[in-house]
């Protein structure tokens, strides 16, 4: 089966920050997990390069939009590499193939009768690239997100008949309760739709930095329509000479932050319907990473640089921390202190110690080979359904829940060692078999949790699995008892060494 997961494409008006890293990490966990299950995965990320956000940032810096885009697109590309993201393609909306495909699809929407010329009059925030109603403004004329003063605009452009999709969208939501997750976001999207849909501008007359409208070359497409279509266009040219849409369209899940809910849960399915295309299976909306009480954002200047954190602690730690600390789907605060705490107490003390204790005891008491001995039934039964449970949680995009399930088992193994105290039993020659049974059980449990943790912490778990003589991280390997004893335990560097500096930010 195929599985297609996407992140939003990020604006190149500024450099990447932790908020962008967050969505990419989450999507990568889904992609890696689905590959473990043998799915044929396509994971897409990239950059959104057109529109006012980029054009105006370039103007402020005195450079051409394309130069700014080239520079920052490279930074986002570097981020995906630094995050160990296994994306199958990196799309840039300035790619000529993307532009041509956008023109094709939107021409179809026009030919299908869902576009008409009109005059837009109202407020527009160039940083959001979004139109604002009077009710949304603060202090009379300010964008509620960027707090910059907006001007009223009047321009002739083409409109998309969003209103024509009111009933169809309501029907889609009624038939597909999991079209948007989590539930609060489904409710929010549905109530937006039920509030009544107005037509929206499809094109911009004053802007040059965008995809040219084929039926009126004096205009470019409004950046959001150009951007949303990336999820489709990428499949048409990611592999030269191949059209991957047959295999991967529609997407299984678009991961997004809640800031761009309206575009993905209302405009996007309507646009696809207007083009006669299938809508995605699911849009999953996560919350904000907060610093203190505020959304981390470049415009507020309260951002943590992911490159710095990774330099100091390594990428797996960051991947783990973000998905563990902030309940995926909800808002949550992150901080250098919180980061250090989980690093010490969970990664170093719980998982890291479990690994080194187990390896040391196998070396000391079992000649360095994982013993061939039956594990305790009680331990085996506690591990019996862990892989199924994790799969169910990942299917529900409950990444934090899946980590919690895995972590309970890490803790269980530590508790088991604490209860059984094999280091004491080892002093008594008559207890040799018992020691072997305990250590086989712990090694086997550790192997299972490491396979399940692999999508979250690919580097560290690979090191652990290799040290315990295992190479497979397929989901089938996450069954307790799937592997018997006999493997040699190799050398292993400390997984989570003490970090001196207390400055993750
Ligand atoms: N270019 C548009 C998206 C087009 S998708 C067809 C855009 N870009 S963005 O650069 O502003 O990125 C927004 C996305 O970055 C959010 O939806 C979210 O995925 C991620 N985040 C940015 N800041 C974030 C937080 N503080 N917290 C969580 N996610 C954050 O919007």
Average pLDDT over residues 379-387: 97
For residue 13, which atom of ligand 1 is closest to its CA?
10
For residue 53, which atom of ligand 1 is closest to its CA?
1
CA of 16 to the centre of ligand 1 (A): 10
Beta bridge partners of 427: none
pLDDT confidence of residue 327: 98
Domain segments of the chain as ranges:
2-303, 335-477
Q: Is 31 in the pocket of ligand 1 (CB under 6 A)?
A: no
pLDDT confidence of residue 127: 84
CA of 21 to the centre of ligand 1 (A): 10
pLDDT confidence of residue 298: 66
* Ligand 1 pocket test, candidate residues 13, 14, 20, most atoms within 8 A of CB: 20
- Over residues 151-173, the pLDDT tens digits come to 888 889 999 999 999 999 999 99
* Ligand 1 pocket test, candidate residues 7, 10, 321, most atoms within 8 A of CB: 10
Q: Is 83 in the pocket of ligand 1 (CB under 6 A)?
A: no
Q: Is 72 in the pocket of ligand 1 (CB under 6 A)?
A: no
Residue 9: left if φ>0, alpha if ψ -120 to 50, beta else—which one? beta
Q: Is 319 in the pocket of ligand 1 (CB under 6 A)?
A: no
Confidence tier at 241 by pLDDT (50, 70, 90): very high
Average pLDDT over residues 95-106: 98
pLDDT confidence of residue 132: 87
Calculate Rg over the CA atoms of the chain: 26
Q: Is 48 in the pocket of ligand 1 (CB under 6 A)?
A: yes
Separation between Cα atoms, residue 412 and residue 270, nearest integer Å: 48
Q: Which range is least confidently modeled, 4-18, 33-47, 110-124, 286-300?
A: 286-300
Atom 25 in ligand 1: residue holding the nearest Cα: 19
Beta bridge partners of 432: none
Q: Which range is least confidently modeled, 130-139, 183-192, 398-407, 409-418?
A: 130-139
pLDDT confidence of residue 106: 98
0.85 exceeded by the pTM? yes
Q: Is 334 in the pocket of ligand 1 (CB under 6 A)?
A: no
Specify the CATH number of the domain 2-303.
3.40.50.620
- Active site members: 17, 20, 125, 128, 143, 146, 295, 298
> What does the DSSP assignment read for 167-224?
HHHHHHHHH-TTSEESHHHHHHHHHHHHT-PPPEE-EESS--SSPBPTT-TT-EE-HH
Q: Is 268 in the pocket of ligand 1 (CB under 6 A)?
A: no
Q: Which range is least confidently modeled, 334-343, 388-397, 405-414?
A: 334-343
Separation between Cα atoms, residue 459 and residue 291, nearest integer Å: 28
- Over residues 300-355, the pLDDT tens digits come to 666 778 888 898 889 999 999 999 999 999 999 998 888 999 999 999 999 999 99
pLDDT confidence of residue 337: 87
Atom 12 in ligand 1: residue holding the nearest Cα: 10
Q: What integer best gives the mean pLDDT of the chain?
A: 94
pLDDT confidence of residue 126: 84
* Ligand 1 pocket test, candidate residues 6, 23, 69, most atoms within 8 A of CB: 23
pLDDT confidence of residue 504: 42
Q: Is 22 in the pocket of ligand 1 (CB under 6 A)?
A: yes
Q: Is 295 in the pocket of ligand 1 (CB under 6 A)?
A: yes
Average pLDDT over residues 214-234: 97
Confidence tier at 495 by pLDDT (50, 70, 90): very high
Q: Return the percentage of the chain with pLDDT > 70, whole number.
A: 97
CA atoms within 13 A on the CB side of 484: 4
Determine how many CB atoms are found less than 10 A away from the CB of residue 278: 14
Do 335-477 and 2-303 fall under one CATH topology?
Answer: no
Average pLDDT over residues 18-41: 97
CA of 465 to the centre of ligand 1 (A): 35
Q: Is 227 in the pocket of ligand 1 (CB under 6 A)?
A: yes
CATH class given for the domain over 335-477: mainly alpha
Confidence tier at 291 by pLDDT (50, 70, 90): confident
| 3-state SS assignment for residue 496 | coil
Helix (H) or strand (E) holding 460, with range, is helix 458-467
CA of 153 to the centre of ligand 1 (A): 25
3-state helix, strand, coil in the chain (%, to 5): 50, 15, 35
Confidence tier at 505 by pLDDT (50, 70, 90): very low
């Amino acid at each position: 089966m195929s599985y297609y997961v996407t992140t939003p494409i990020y604006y190149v008006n500024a450099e990447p920050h932790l908020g962008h890293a967050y969505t990419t990490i989450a999507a990568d966990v889904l992609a890696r997990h689905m590959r473990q299950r043998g799915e044929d995965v396509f994971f897409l990320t990239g950059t959104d390069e057109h529109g006012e956000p980029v054009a105006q940032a370039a103007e402020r810096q005195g450079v051409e939009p394309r130069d700014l885009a080239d520079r920052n697109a490279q930074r986002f590309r570097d981020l995906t590499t630094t995050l160990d993201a296994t994306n199958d393609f990196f799309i840039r909306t300035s790619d000529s193939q993307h532009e041509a495909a956008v023109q094709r699809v939107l021409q179809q929407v026009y030919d299908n009768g869902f576009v008409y010329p009109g005059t837009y009059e109202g407020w527009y925030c160039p940083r959001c690239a979004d139109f604002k109603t009077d009710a949304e403004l603060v202090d009379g004329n300010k964008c509620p997100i960027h707090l910059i003063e907006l001007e009223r605009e009047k321009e002739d452009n083409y409109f998309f008949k969003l209103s024509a999709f009111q009933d169809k969208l309501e029907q889609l939501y009624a038939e597909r309760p999991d079209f948007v997750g989590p539930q609060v976001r489904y409710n929010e999207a549905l109530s937006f739709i039920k509030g009544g849909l107005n037509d929206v501008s499809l094109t911009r007359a004053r802007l040059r930095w965008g995809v040219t409208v084929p039926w009126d070359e004096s205009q470019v497409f409004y950046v959001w329509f150009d951007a949303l279509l990336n999820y489709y266009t990428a499949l048409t040219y990611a592999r030269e000479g191949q059209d991957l849409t047959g295999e991967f369209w529609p997407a299984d899940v678009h991961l997004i932050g809640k800031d761009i809910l309206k575009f993905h849960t209302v405009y996007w399915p309507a646009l696809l319907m207007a083009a006669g295309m299938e809508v995605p299976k699911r849009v999953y909306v996560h919350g904000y990473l907060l610093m203190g009480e505020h959304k981390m954002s470049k415009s507020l200047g309260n951002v943590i640089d992911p490159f710095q954190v990774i330099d100091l602690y390594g990428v797996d730690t960051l991947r783990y921390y973000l998905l563990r600390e902030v309940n995926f789907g909800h808002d949550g605060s992150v901080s250098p202190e919180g980061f250090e705490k989980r690093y010490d107490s969970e990664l170093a003390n719980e998982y890291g110690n479990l690994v080194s204790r187990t390896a040391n005891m196998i070396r000391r008491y079992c000649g360095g080979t994982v013993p061939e001995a039956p594990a305790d039934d009680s331990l085996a039964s506690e591990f019996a359904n862990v892989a199924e449970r994790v799969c169910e949680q990942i299917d529900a995009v409950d990444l934090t829940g899946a980590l919690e399930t895995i972590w309970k088992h890490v803790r269980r193994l530590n508790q088991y060692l604490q209860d059984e105290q094999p280091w004491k039993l080892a002093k008594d020659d008559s207890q040799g078999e018992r020691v072997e049974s305990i250590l086989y059980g712990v090694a086997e449990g550790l192997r299972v949790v490491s396979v399940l943790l692999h999508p979250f912490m690919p580097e560290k778990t690979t090191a652990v699995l290799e040290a315990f003589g295992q190479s497979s991280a397929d989901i089938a390997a996450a069954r307790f008892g799937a592997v018997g004893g006999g493997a040699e335990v190799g050398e292993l560097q400390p997984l989570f060494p003490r970090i001196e500096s207390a400055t993750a930010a």
